Amino acid sequence: MPRAEDASYADAVQLDRVLDVVDRVLGDRVVSTVLYGSAAAGGLRRDSDLDLLVVVPTALAAGDARVIVDGLLPISGRRATIVPGRPVELTVVALDEVVPWRFPPRRQLQYGEWLRDEFAGGAIPSANDDPDLALLLAQALGAHRRLRGRRLADVLEPVPAADVRRGILASLPALLDDLVGDERNVLLTLARMWVTLETGEFVAKDVAAEWAIERLGEAGEGAGTVAAAAAAAEALRVARAGYLGDAADRWEARGDLAATAAAELAKRVRG
Pair 61, 189 in one domain? no
Pair 169, 117 in one domain? no
Question: In sequence order, which residues have a C-beta less than 8 Å from that of residue 116 and are 6 or more positions away?
Answer: 73, 76, 77, 79
Domain span including residue 233? 165-270
CA distances from 61 to 65, 70, 108, 195 (A): 8, 15, 10, 38
Question: Which DSSP category does 113 fall into?
Answer: G
Q: Which of 5, 89, 218, 252 is catalytic?
A: 89
| 214 among known catalytic residues | no
Pair 146, 174 in one domain? no
Instruction: Please list the helix, strand and coil fractions of the chain in percent, rounded to the nearest 5, in that order.
Output: 55, 10, 35
Q: Domain holding 119: CATH number?
A: 3.30.460
Pair 89, 36 in one domain? yes
Q: Which of 112, 127, 158 is the last residue of a domain?
A: 158
Q: How many CB atoms lie within 10 A of CB 59?
A: 16
Q: pLDDT digits over 194-230, tens only? A: 999 999 999 999 999 999 999 998 755 455 689 999 9
Neighbour-count burial of 126, counting CB atoms closer than 10 A to its CB (0-12 exposed, 13-18 middle, 19+ buried): exposed
Pair 58, 174 in one domain? no
Pair 191, 68 in one domain? no
Instruction: List average pLDDT for each run of 10 residues in the chain, which is 271 residues long.
Output: 54 95 97 92 81 98 96 96 93 98 98 96 94 97 95 97 97 96 96 96 94 83 76 97 91 96 96 89
pTM over 0.95: no
Pair 182, 123 in one domain? no
186 close to 178: Cβ distance less than 8 angstroms: yes
The Cβ-side half-sphere exposure at 114, using a 13 Å CA radius, reads 9
CA distances from 15 to 33, 52, 85, 110, 112 (A): 12, 9, 10, 17, 15
Pair 243, 129 in one domain? no
Secondary structure E strands in the chain: 32-36, 50-56, 88-94, 106-107, 109-111, 128-129, 145-149
- For residue 252, the model assigns a pLDDT of 95
- For residue 9, the model assigns a pLDDT of 84
Q: Chain centroid to CA 3: how far?
A: 26
Give residue 242's identity as a one-letter amino acid code. Answer: G
How many residues belong to the chain?
271
Nearest-angstrom CA–CA distance, 50 and 112: 10
- For residue 7, the model assigns a pLDDT of 56
Pair 126, 8 in one domain? yes
Pair 118, 201 in one domain? no
Nearest-angstrom CA–CA distance, 111 and 107: 11
Q: Which of 158, 183, 205 is the last residue of a domain?
A: 158
Pair 30, 142 in one domain? yes
- For residue 197, the model assigns a pLDDT of 96
Q: Chain centroid to CA 123: how far?
A: 22
Domain count, the chain: 2
55 close to 33: Cβ distance less than 8 angstroms: yes
Pair 195, 117 in one domain? no
Q: Which of 126, 158, 190 is the last residue of a domain?
A: 158
